[in-house]
C-alpha cells in the first residue's frame, strides 16, 4: 500500500503528515528529520490499529501540482 506524505515548511523546521491518516503528524528541524519522525509515527499508528483490531483506512488520493499565472495568484 502507498500512503501520501505532505511536508510543510514551518518556523521551527518542517511539519509532516500522512494525508490518509490525519492523526499521524510530526515535526522535524530538517526535512530528513521530519521524514524519519513521520515514518516512526506511522509505524506506531499501524501498531495501535493492529492492537485495536482496526484496519488502516485506504483512500485513493491523487495529488498534482500545477502552475498558475501570476495574474490569478491571490
CATH number, domain at 63?
Answer: 3.30.160
Kindly report the number of other CB atoms within 10 A of residue 25's CB atom: 14
**6-54: pLDDT as tens digits:** 999 999 999 999 988 889 999 999 999 999 999 999 999 999 999 999 9
pTM score of the predicted model: 0.75
pLDDT at residue 61, rounded to an integer: 66
Query: CA nearest 17: which of 39, 50, 33?
Result: 39
Q: Number of structural domains, the chain?
A: 1
| Domain that includes residue 52, residue range | 5-72
pLDDT top residue among 44 and 63: 44
pLDDT at residue 16, rounded to an integer: 97
pLDDT at residue 72, rounded to an integer: 62
pLDDT at residue 70, rounded to an integer: 66
Amino acid at each position: 500500500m502507498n500512503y501520501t506524505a505532505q511536508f510543510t515548511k514551518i518556523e521551527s523546521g518542517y511539519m509532516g503528515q500522512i494525508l490518509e491518516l490525519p492523526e499521524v503528524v510530526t515535526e522535524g528541524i530538517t526535512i530528513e528529520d521530519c521524514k524519519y519522525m513521520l515514518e516512526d509515527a506511522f509505524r506506531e499508528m499501524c501498531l495501535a490499529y493492529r492492537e485495536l483490531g482496526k484496519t488502516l483506512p485506504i483512500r485513493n488520493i491523487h495529488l498534482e501540482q500545477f502552475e498558475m499565472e501570476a495574474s490569478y495568484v491571490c
